[in-house]
Structure 1
Amino acid sequence: MKNFKLDRNKAMFMFIDMQPRILKAIDNNERVLKNSIILAKICEILDMDFVVTAQYLKGLGSNHEEILKHLKNYVEHSKLTFDSTEDEEILRDLKAKNKKQIIVCGIESHICILQTVRGLLEKGYEVFVVSDALGSRSDSNHQNGLSQLDQMGAVISNTETILFDLAGVAGTDTFKKLQALIK
């Protein structure tokens, strides 16, 4: 059975290929960017670990600046593989963070997300895919990717569920900062 409960102490984020040159071709790209920025802010507020990948950084450029500005001391891992876990540098970074749960957002749902999540699951990670912070060039490819991710064993979630699951309780100063992200 899938573990549907996030544990802030065991979880980290993975931002996959949120590069403006790719993002502009993505269906519903404003929603994908907005929710990915919220996830970066959650990561910042809760001081959580993260990994950032960039598909062919030299040719396609950096991840979106509105995401990166919330990720303290980020390193963008340039990759040529579609499955991020096939890149030795990325895999070393993931292992060094020593987290069991990976919260994934980025593009494209049916290519780099699908192949990376498949690799993470094969390596024993619990994967939480943030469906409203993922995208593909067409909605049908996005939906197909989500369907396959669910069948593989990833938890299909959304930005608000991730936020409230990581918050855990209401009434704290931290919760108030998090809640302000979705008002």
Structure 2
Amino acid sequence: MASPAPQRRFQNPALFICDIQEKFRSAIFEFDKVVLTTSKMLRACAALQIPVYVTTQNRARLGDTVAELQAQLQEGGGRLVRANTDKTRFSMWIPAVTSQLAETETKKKSEIVIVGIEAHICVTQTALDALAAGYSVYVLADGVSSCNRDEVGVALARLRAAGAVVTTSESWIYECLGDAAAAEFKTIVGLVKETGRDTKAALEGLLSPRI
């Protein structure tokens, strides 16, 4: 009997990128590490064909998504971007996003993974709204930050208590894939190896010693 085809652990994942904008570059603790992790996640999403949802907060005043991520969003990953919208509400849980999210769903709601800023404001409110709507929510500890470093640990503890899973980018990517027999496995292994230094820098900058 033939072996069953490999199944991903996550059947309907989605990446939320929250407000990683130019004006925050000098204000957010370890901002460059958030960008590194988000870039890796975009590459993983391209390999795994995972839809991406992007927001900016008051773009006219705070600027667009940072240039290095814009390049990825406009190139190969552009076909995966389901929403790229500006907002005034702190939460990403707005009709421009949720309407597109609903279109990707059949019997199972999306497993939402969140990166961005600020951890204790927009990321927290997005996660809480998604949890309240019945979604599985993952927050990447190596992909979120705030202006004040100490806010981040408090926010992550609150989100854990609310039911979100706090994890890391590499852990989430492999959990999403779920099986070394998957066709995308070699691509993901290559990505993880290629971004190894960036991953280490993000972990050391954003997690140690608060998590």
TM-score (ref. length: structure 2): 0.77
Contact 1:10 1:101 in 2 (8 A): yes
What corresponds to 1:88 in structure 2? 95
Which 5+ residue runs of structure 2 have no aligned equivalent?
1-7, 194-211
**Which has the larger Rg?**
2
Q: Secondary structure at the match of 2:50?
A: coil
C-alpha separation in 1, matches of 2:133 and 2:12: 16
Any idea what the Cα deviations from partners look like across 1:123-161, whole Å, max 9, x if unmatched? 111101111000111220111111111111000010110
- CA distance in 1 between counterparts of 2:95 and 2:183 reads 39
Give the Å deviation of 1:114. 0.4
Superposition pairs of residues 95-110 of structure 1, within 5 angstroms: 95-98=102-105, 99-110=109-120
Q: How does 1:5-154 map to 2 (within 5 A)?
A: 7-68=9-70, 69-70=72-73, 71-73=77-79, 74=81, 75-85=83-93, 87-98=94-105, 99-154=109-164
**Displacement after TM superposition at 1:162 (Å):** 0.9
For the 8 Å contact 2:139–2:164, the answer to whether it is kept is yes
User: What is the CA RMSD across the aligned residues, in angstroms?
Assistant: 1.8
Give the unaligned 5+ runs of structure 1.
Answer: 1-5
Equivalent residue pairs, number:
177
Per the alignment, in what secondary structure is the counterpart of residue 64 of structure 2? coil
Per-residue displacement from partner, 1:152-183 (whole Å, max 9, x unpaired)?
A: 10000101101211222236662222122232
User: Given that residues 44 and 72 in structure 1 are in contact (C-alpha distance below 8 angstroms), is that contact kept between their aligned partners in structure 2?
Assistant: no
**Distance apart, 1:56 and its partner CA:** 0.9
Q: 1:3 aligns to what?
A: none
The runs of 4+ residues in structure 1 deviating greater than 6 Å are none
